[in-house]
Amino acid sequence: MSSHHFVKEQQEPALLILDTKGFSYETIAPLLEWSPTVLVAQEEVLTVISWGLKIDLILAQMDFQKENYHLLEEQYPVKFLGVDNDEFLENGLQYLIATKHSAVNIIGFNHQQVFSLEEKLAFLDLVIWDAPMRYFPVKNGVFKKWFSSATLQLHAPEGTFIEVQEDSESQIHRITYATFVEVEEGTTILKSDKIFWVGEFVMEV
């Protein structure tokens, strides 16, 4: 199956780059395998260009567009997507929903604010990259995955209960600020009656 098929059907997760602080090209490169749609906030454009990435849309305020009109030619066929009031994330997500994308990796978003995104989960699968971790939502109450031994962050509103099952053992965690759990190699099952987010380390700290 070709990458063209994935792009045409908008099945490959888009890449929305808001902030590159703490990230390198090597971190981002695996997300580019199937030539996803790449959206970049105006402040990160030069960094992303220096990485050699092809940008599809620059999320930009009017002043930036006027001052950097040359980018439309130099980075053809890049386009500007107008942004008002620093709403880079909101405008980017609205564009992806309108163009029938099904998923997006968001680079450089504060995981403490993910709860504000949960209304978008009906339209998009979201993965949040907040160096050095990435966070994904568990929407249906149960998550099951094989891990090599790992440290996970369970992220949900304070007071949320999440059950962690490993082999035949089960523990209930009441979420407080920065709740981390250690899981051994094997299959881990996480359960809650509410939406929660799981954070994994994706780079050394």
Convert the pLDDT of each residue in 19-48 to its tens digit: 999 999 999 999 999 889 999 999 999 999
Please give the residue range of the domain that contains residue 155.
Answer: 138-201
Residue 4: pLDDT above 60?
no
Specify the pLDDT at position 205.
58
Specify the pLDDT at position 17.
98
CATH number of the domain where residue 27 is located: 3.40.50.10240
Residue 6: pLDDT above 70?
no
Does one domain contain both 91 and 146? no
Q: Check residue 177 and report its DSSP letter.
A: T
The span from the first CA to the last CA of the chain, in angstroms, equals 37
Does one domain contain both 102 and 143? no
Does one domain contain both 90 and 151? no
Does one domain contain both 126 and 146? no
- Residue that terminates a domain, selected from 108, 131, 154: 131
Dump strand ranges (E) for the chain.
14-17, 38-41, 57-60, 79-82, 103-107, 125-130, 133-138, 142-147, 150-155, 161-166, 169-174, 179-183, 186-191, 196-201
pTM, rounded to two decimals:
0.92
Does one domain contain both 23 and 93? yes
Specify the pLDDT at position 178.
86
Does one domain contain both 108 and 150? no
Does one domain contain both 124 and 143? no
Does one domain contain both 72 and 164? no
- Residue that terminates a domain, selected from 131, 166, 186: 131
Number of domains in the chain: 2
Specify the pLDDT at position 7.
44
